[in-house]
Amino acid sequence: MKKYVVLTGAGISAESGIKTFRDSGGLWENHDVQQVASPEGFQKDPKLVWQFYKDRFAQSLSVQPNAAHLALKKMEDKLQDNFHLITQNVDGLHSRAGSKRVLELHGSLSTAFCTVCRASHPLIELDLSCEIPSCKKCGNMLRPDIVWFGEIPYFLYEIEQLLKDCEVFIVIGTSGSVYPAAGFVMTAKLFGAHTIAVNLSRPDNLGFIDEMHQGHCTELLPPLVESMIGSL
């Protein structure tokens, strides 16, 4: 059985109602991204940053996984250890859809960690009425478990190994312009994988795509997955 690796971006969550990361003016929910998505922004105004992410967490809980998320869960059920999912999204919708083999490259809205002892805490267990939640272990300030600008994404070593070993690499709902994720398709292709993209628009890294499916993820992905797993 072939080894499949899937990379998802904002486009798959957008079809559940999650707003995409930022608009063309560099704003995210009317905030400059450096205010709410950088270590410097957090150091300058942790109350603002925490309010921003508490709002994003609430928004993520107000929407549901869509047909594309569920199709990937079905694919994982069929492929088991021959399937791995990398996501640039922080909304947790893949896990809520039932996916287990998920690497959250940019962290998760659902957790926070202590700025001193590094202990991790699920947001659902915190008192979010506090302007700045504190660590239950040492009492110091928590920060959202999000990879901000200037920080190193999670799981890069594990991802590198998956890209070298996979035989089919599928990119879903991503512009192909945000690195390092935008370079994953190139790595997979150079190591011999067949590369597939499902996206509303043509991605910036189209030159590394063998098979392009342009349109909505929720419409295109379920039949594509059915055809893939039906041939196994």
Catalytically active residues are 106
- The tokens of 85 are what? 């999912």
DSSP H helices in the chain: 10-14, 33-36, 39-44, 46-61, 67-79, 93-97, 156-165, 184-190, 217-230
* Residue 144 DSSP SS3: strand
Omega cis (within 30) before 223: no
CA gap 82, 134 in Å, rounded: 40
- The tokens of 109 are what? 């809205």
